[in-house]
A and B are shown apart, each in its own frame.
Chain A
């Protein structure tokens, strides 16, 4: 794989940072702002890293946004019912994990299209979330210990940034260094070939979906910790951006395969563009247009590169 194909997306990120730095040296190019960006991208990165497992399987999980929202509402409700911090976190993560188990089981066992199944599961989860919360933003009495998981800094680095780094290391580890990860990539590459080689397709697929939902639930908890509240649709916006990040990431490092570092890079590009444009005073709707065009551009460049080689 050529250098330009491998590192082109990374060079793109550097170029975007350089461009914004030139346009706004006083605000954008400050260390404090760059650190701030790492915090802004952290939750998106965690959701996208989860989606990377499912994309490695060549499937989709469209319920991640709903799971983020659900995790917030579930945790605040449990705090409201007087549960302690560790138990609440464990229960919320278990709930997220189970959503993935169910989707993965339906998809792998009955060969249902993941697009439809997870869209439906996401809708169901959204409904349940609304039901629990009565459609209202929940404030509850969230313990300070929990809130500290999502705010403040450690040795000058925002806590959320550290969580995102941990998630990256975990996703990288699972995809590159475990049998599960290699088998998930094999199934995503050629399901029947993997099956005939003795790979347990259902088992590994279910794990990929469960990990995806687990990461979304983690992001939901951290979002709640940071905001000190939970809204029943608070996480829905992550869905499209997460897949944008994964797709951007597939253009980097790994020759068209979903990979953890690429996803982190994709999330960074999205966050830098949003931050830079906000600083320049560009309205929100234009940011959306730019983000969309960048994704199309990245995929286009990669495909043209592929054809040339």
Chain B
């Protein structure tokens, strides 16, 4: 169906694709694998007509394929579901589905009813649960992802490309999505599936291509390879995900939350974290993980309850009081609430601790020399590869951006590290680096509280596991011999309203 050979794409001096070959067959799900920065995104952008390759050939169903624009790629029968949502928040699901598509019209007037019906039919065909009359801005991220997918499925595609489609979905939703993908493939569609979750890849895909540094390093059938082999190929050297270190038991209490409520109608939360503990916070989307972390950080005003860090009470709100007390926070969404993408690496890395780089302590005047030296020190501790400090941070891979987002906070007197999905969409090597950072901090006596949607990560990194569902803590248990099932059961547990939980 699709044959790529010798694809090369350069950006300035950087070679993003360096001879990629790939064969995608109809009726099969093809997993495109590789670390962040391996060239997956660039390859997809060549397919979608956003970039034009500098060399190499692309053939679609035997004919030369060289889309000049995303529209041309669509006309050729390719459909893309991108990682980021591209929806108009004020529009309903079906209105969104028709953005960029010919409207149903009669006498020049748009026939909304027909369009709504057609979209509803597609939804029902795949048995998805979605309110199509609500503005998508009021739907959850997961539902928005479903809207994006349905939009791509509105008419029959030759090739469907899914870029990390399950990153923000709950386990159940991801399962539904994988069933849809299988069904489409069985009906003859070729599916290109990008995911960092190898368990998922093995569950849904037939074939695979592994990219590393812009080159195809291996391809074939998943049935004939193993997880370990794929990881080794992506990483480029014998590379094992480190097993969980002996679980540290908490030292003295570092953080104590009691009777915490983020809103009057939400359940109250009690949680204690000891110094040296790595507490993994698991929950499906909407379970209240993120708002709990933001509340501890002082970014969301607390409604009720008390918050004690290392024996001194913190005010209910105010980020600066947290910073002064040695707390650090990393947001789950680096693009929208984490980094300033069009500003430089230097500006982003220095932002939280600008006051450190003064020329004289008493004056709020910066020393550019200190600024550079300080940021250099941050980056050298993180094994981040970059060109110049003045380059935009968006030129770095997602893994490196994420490392900077965490590393810019790290400092000897950090006592509590709050990380919301610190490894989402990050390649395996960066993930390991980030895990190592967490362990090092915990070993140094800090308390680490990280939220994740990845059970494997939870079981691997956490010394204690806390699960939330519908705003309440439904499980709080030391991580020794905890099974996936236990975690999932707690995550889908509906807590009783009147505090009967657990």
Residues of A in contact with B (beta carbons under 8 Å apart): 177-180, 182-183, 185-186, 189-190, 192-200, 255-257
Contact = CB atoms under 8 A, between A and B. Distances in A.
A189 B323 contact: no
A5 to B, nearest CB: 13
Given A186-B340, A255-B342, A200 B320 contact: yes
A259 B371 CA distance: 19
A182 B347 contact: yes
B366 A182 contact: yes
A190 B341 contact: yes
Contact of B347 (A179, A186, A200): A186
Interface residues of B, number: 28
B383 to A, nearest CB: 22
B354 interface: yes
B343 interface: yes
A255 to B, nearest CB: 7
A257 B365 CA distance: 21
B320 A198 contact: yes
B319 interface: yes
A177 B320 contact: no
Given A178-B364, A192-B337, 10 more contacts: A179-B354, A183-B354, A185-B343, A189-B342, A190-B337, A190-B340, A193-B340, A196-B319, A199-B351, A200-B320
B365 A197 contact: no
Nearest to B298: A198
A199 B331 CA distance: 14
The prevalent SS among residues of A at the interface is: helix
B336 A192 contact: yes
Contacts of B340: 186, 189-190, 193-194
| Top 9 closest pairs, chain A to chain B, by CB | A189-B340, A190-B340, A192-B337, A197-B352, A179-B364, A198-B323, A179-B354, A198-B319, A197-B351
A289 to B, nearest CB: 32
B320 A186 contact: no
A182 B368 CA distance: 12
A185 B366 contact: no
B221 to A, nearest CB: 40
Which of A190, A192, A257: most chain B CB closer than 10 A?
A: A190
Interface of B: 297, 299, 319-320, 322-323, 329, 331, 336-343, 347, 350-352, 354-355, 358, 364-366, 368, 392
B351 A178 contact: no
A193 B337 CA distance: 4
A195 B351 contact: no
A196 B337 contact: yes
Contact of A193 (B297, B331, B354, B368): B331
A198 B352 contact: yes
Contacts, number: 68
A287 B220 CA distance: 67
A53 B342 CA distance: 18
Contact of A179 (B320, B336, B355): B355
Contacts of B343: 185-186, 189, 257
13 contacts: A179-B364, A182-B350, A182-B354, A182-B366, A189-B340, A193-B336, A193-B338, A193-B339, A196-B297, A197-B352, A198-B319, A255-B342, A257-B342
Contacts of A196: 297, 299, 319, 329, 331, 337-338
Nearest to B299: A196
| Residue picked from A179, A183, A193, most chain B C-beta under 10 Å | A193
Nearest to B334: A193
Residue among B340, B347, B350 facing the most chain A CB atoms (10 A cut-off): B340
Nearest to B354: A179
Given A179-B354, A190-B340, A256-B342, A185 B364 contact: no
A180 B338 CA distance: 20
Nearest to B371: A182
A58 B365 CA distance: 23
B297 A190 contact: no
Contact of A190 (B339, B350, B352, B354): B339
Contacts of B342: 189, 255-257
Contact of A186 (B323, B351, B355, B364): B351
A241 to B, nearest CB: 27
- Which of A177, A194, A200: most chain B CB closer than 10 A? A177
A192 B351 CA distance: 13
A256 B355 CA distance: 26
Contacts of B350: 182
A37 B147 CA distance: 58
Nearest to B331: A196
A177 B331 contact: no
A199 B337 CA distance: 13
B133 to A, nearest CB: 29
Contacts of A197: 351-352
Contacts of A200: 320
B336 A185 contact: no
A257 B341 CA distance: 13
Contacts of B364: 178-180
A11 B351 CA distance: 33
A271 to B, nearest CB: 30
Contacts of A185: 343, 347
Most B CB within 10 A of own CB, among A182, A192, A200: A182
